[in-house]
């Protein structure tokens, strides 16, 4: 999908500011360390960047963010965040010098001013993306990816200054500084800022108002705390290595672990929300199997490359990305976060259908096997059946009143958790996985998932029952009611 005009305007403003402020910041650094120090420092600072960018892209493999947006995050960190950090750190150091003397001011700037100012300026980029690009900032994974890009940009520019100073001073200090900052600690700024990214990601995913507000605040506080601890330990020699091995390294692997669990959550969202489009003829059985598996994606893309060259490889990768975007769009829509949901969905579906035709993919839209259904729902086993699946659930009351939901071959689940439910009711009285509705050998069935407040059919509480057209299905204590609609022959 092409970005809207307003998107390019905002991006243009950010890029313009980055060019102006980045030029000023780099000029200040260049004047301090000289041309030779600047060039050498820049080359040394840029060296580790590709490896960590590759790590961020690996994390982002299920729902890749637009490359231009990742680049914008990197540029913000490298230019805008650095400029304001230089400005406010200098001002704060002057204040500390006047209050406590030059020696103490240096430590106070490193431990108080730098963590506060730098994490706020880097975190501002994440907040902008969080508020501006809701369709591209879905979860914790996205928060970590954007934070990594902002942090890498900031670290690269900051390291130009540190490496340049060491080169100018001579005495072999540049090698020691490069080892400490380029080998041991290039992940420091991405790690700190990831705390803010995780907090914003948790806020995006959660339905609970306290979490939505407190998670970002907790994230930025944790980012500042880790940053302050890192800078403080650097002032005490061996204490730095103790902090590095016993706090920073475990924190780094903790973020990696969070990212892995977030990736699994992404996979569950894709499985749950692509299941319905199989019955609509948008995707085939094989499409869903490929899109929900990274190894199969790689195999399909490689086959496209050898079969049709670079153009077909690009088309295949775009097909995977669009199918994933369709799943996440469905997830966002179920959480009532898309204002123009249907038109966006129609655009995505049109692009996917066109790409399928371009790639020459088989138009096999027969019902998926029970194994695939189990994989998609991860909850209820649906026997092989000839039951018609062009039925729909029509919401007759509640927050989704007036909306209709297709009941596909894999069925649909109603619940509070958008990860595993296609129909999401954001109400505390609704269980995370409340009730599943889908086809069986006898017709359409409703299976209560052990919900706390129950599922009611025509006024009677049920556990598992056959549905008939016109039946009134009530969720919890009147939170919402649905009616099964099956077209007559």
Map tokens 């420091």 to a residue. 188
Q: What is the mean pLDDT of the chain?
A: 85
Task: Give percent above pLDDT 70 in the chain.
Answer: 89
pLDDT of residue 390: 63
Structure-token match 């129950």, residue found: 454
453-488 pLDDT, tens digit per residue, is 889 998 888 888 888 888 889 998 788 999 888 765
**44 Cβ contact partners less than 8 Å away, ≥ 6 residues apart:** 159, 163, 174, 178, 182
CA distance 139 to 205: 6
What per-residue string of b and e applies to 386-395 under the rule 16 or more CB within 10 Å gives b?
Answer: ebebebbbeb
Is the dihedral angle over the CA atoms 451, 453, 458, 459 positive or is it negative? positive
Structure confidence at residue 392 (pLDDT): 84
- Residues paired with residue 444 on neighbouring β-strands, in sequence order: 439, 467
**Encoded tokens for 385:** 């059946």
- Residue 267's pLDDT band, with cuts at 50, 70 and 90, is confident
Beta pairing class for 460-462 and 455-457: antiparallel
The Cα–Cα gap between 466 and 168 comes to: 80
From 246, 287, 271, 240, select the one nearest 419 (Cα to Cα): 271
pLDDT band (50, 70, 90) for residue 345: confident
DSSP string, 335-365: TT--TTHHHHHHHHHHHHHHHHHHHT-----
Q: Give every CB contact of residue 411 below 8 A, 6+ residues apart in sequence.
A: 275, 373, 377, 380, 382, 436, 437, 438, 439
Q: In what order do the strands lie in the sheet with 404-407?
A: 404-407, 391-397, 480-485, 472-475, 455-457, 460-462
Cβ proximity of 328 and 273 under 8 Å: yes
In the predicted model, what is the mean pLDDT of residues 360-364? Answer: 69
What is the predicted pLDDT for the residue at 362? 67
Q: Residues with Cβ < 8 Å from 336, sequence gap 6 or more?
A: 399, 426
Average pLDDT for 335-353:
74
Angle at 75 (CA atoms; ends 69, 203), nearest 5 degrees: 55
What is the pLDDT, as a whole number, of residue 222? Answer: 97
pLDDT per residue as tens digits for the range 467-476: 888 888 999 8
Instruction: Give yes or no for a contact between 74 and 152, defined as CB atoms under 8 angstroms apart.
Output: yes
71 or 180, greater pLDDT: 71
> Which one has a higher pLDDT value, 418 or 176?
176
What are the residues whose beta carbons fall under 8 Å from the beta carbon of 327, sequence distance 6 or more?
Answer: 269, 270, 272, 273, 274, 291
How high is the pLDDT of residue 350?
87
Q: Does residue 124 or residue 365 have the better pLDDT?
A: 124
- Give the global pTM: 0.76
Selected residue with higher pLDDT from 127 and 358: 127
The pLDDT, as a whole number, for residue 279 is 61
């Amino acid at each position: 999908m092409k970005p809207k005009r307003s998107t390019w305007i905002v991006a243009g403003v950010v890029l313009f500011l980055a060019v102006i402020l980045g030029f000023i910041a780099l000029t200040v650094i260049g004047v301090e360390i000289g041309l030779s120090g600047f060039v050498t420092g820049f080359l040394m600072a840029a060296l580790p960047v590709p490896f960590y960018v590759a790590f961020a892209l690996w994390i982002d493999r299920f729902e890749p963010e637009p490359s231009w947006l990742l680049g914008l995050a990197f540029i913000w960190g490298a230019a805008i965040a650095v400029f304001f950090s230089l400005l406010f750190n200098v001002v704060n150091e002057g204040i500390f010098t006047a209050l406590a003397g030059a020696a103490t001011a240096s430590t106070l700037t490193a431990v108080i001013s730098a963590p506060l100012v730098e994490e706020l300026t880097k975190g501002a980029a994440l907040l902008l993306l969080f508020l501006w690009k809701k369709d591209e900032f879905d979860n914790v994974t996205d928060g970590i990816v954007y934070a990594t890009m902002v942090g890498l940009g900031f670290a690269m520019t900051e390291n130009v200054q540190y490496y340049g100073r060491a080169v100018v001073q001579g005495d072999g200090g540049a090698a020691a500084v490069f080892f400490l900052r380029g080998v041991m600690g290039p992940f420091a700024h991405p790690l700190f800022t990831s705390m803010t990214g995780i907090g914003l990601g948790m806020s995006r995913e959660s339905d609970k108002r306290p979490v939505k507000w407190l998670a970002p605040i907790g994230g930025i506080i944790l980012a500042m705390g880790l940053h302050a601890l890192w800078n403080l330990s650097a002032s005490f020699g061996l204490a730095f290595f103790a902090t590095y091995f016993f706090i920073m390294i475990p924190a780094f692997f903790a973020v990696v672990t969070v990212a892995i669990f977030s990736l699994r959550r992404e996979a569950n969202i894709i499985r749950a929300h692509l299941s319905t489009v199989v019955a609509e003829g948008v995707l085939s059985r094989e499409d869903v199997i490929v899109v929900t598996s990274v190894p199969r994606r790689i195999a399909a893309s490689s086959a496209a490359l050898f079969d049709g060259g670079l153009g077909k490889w690009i088309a295949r990768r775009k097909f995977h990305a669009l199918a994933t975007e369709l799943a996440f769009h469905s997830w966002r829509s179920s959480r009532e976060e898309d204002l123009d949901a249907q038109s966006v969905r129609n655009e995505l579906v049109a692009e996917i259908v066109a790409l399928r035709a371009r790639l020459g993919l088989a138009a096999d839209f027969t019902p998926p096997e029970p194994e695939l259904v189990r994989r998609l729902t991860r909850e209820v086993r649906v026997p092989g059946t000839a039951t018609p699946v062009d039925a729909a659930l029509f919401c007759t009351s509640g927050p989704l009143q007036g909306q209709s939901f297709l009941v596909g071959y894999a069925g649909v689940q109603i619940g509070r958790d958008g990860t595993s439910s296609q129909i999401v009711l954001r109400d505390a009285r609704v269980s995370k996985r409340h009730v599943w509705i889908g086809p069986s050998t006898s017709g359409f069935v409703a299976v209560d998932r052990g919900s706390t407040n129950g599922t009611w059919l025509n006024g009677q509480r049920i556990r598992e029952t056959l549905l008939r057209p016109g039946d009134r299905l009530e969720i919890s204590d009147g939170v919402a009611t649905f009616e099964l609609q099956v077209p007559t022959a």
